[in-house]
Structure 1
């Protein structure tokens, strides 16, 4: 092999090596997850705590409250007793996106009649992942966990207090979708609009 052919081969080898390192670095950045959390609250003076809790516990209301839930959904598993209802759903969130949510809604254990309590808790864990067109990998995922406590408000109505945790990737951060507090306040406004 001539010296010039060896030089070209060495150059191609190092170019491939750099491309592989660049690709692995990009995948590592895309896999990076950032955690955020926020505490928020909202008042609903015209609704009882049970009405707010039951609305949030019913996943059929969620497509109107969350913009990423765009298609059909179905219940995968369900558990129910006198004070708690837990279920898992899978849902569509776009052409290259799949989602799954776990909903747990519980009344206060002090009273054993469903809906009779004045303190309710609704927990939602929501994961959704998507991939770029024609590339099944890497999968880009986001998750949100909310723990909502709904109680009677002084003067009537209901108060929703919520602790929320979000994990999002680089694309979500660049797109400005990693602000968990802003996302939850937007959710509260959507909830108030949906209840009108």
Structure 2
């Protein structure tokens, strides 16, 4: 699997995935606190660029602490992800942050867990040999489900109120089809990344020293 070839120091990580199905890339980067505005603009530029590539399903980011940024990109398959990762546009975008971003680690995940899980960390000893190290625990499944519900409920309610006056006589299958076609991109691109950021202190509370 292609690794993030941007400015890299610190640790990196990868995980195996199957050839089929959506793939989520979880990238942990570190940025100086005073560069927050520049980092925000850089992240938005990368997301806007990724949206132009076939197979792009969504993106989001969560901050933890003053320096740590956890970014997520989701593509419909490994092939579409690799086209984005190997693209000239992405390489130029990464080089533009050479003095801004410290790339810490990257992991590839399948399934909905990709929106929530912290990457599994693999550290390197002084000789460059990988050594296992515990990573921050992913939020419990009930917390993940709660955040998804927070995004799903208002979306379903709004669509029911908006479509109700015109779809009352539609067949059930057609109503469900239209609703899901409208709800899926809204949830994927806008609302789920937003509520994940909003609830990030509750999803992944800071670890106590010595824990």
TM (normalized to structure 1)? Answer: 0.27
> Larger helix proportion, structure 1 or 2?
2
> Larger strand proportion, structure 1 or 2?
1
- Bigger-Rg structure (1/2): 1
TM (normalized to structure 2)? Answer: 0.25
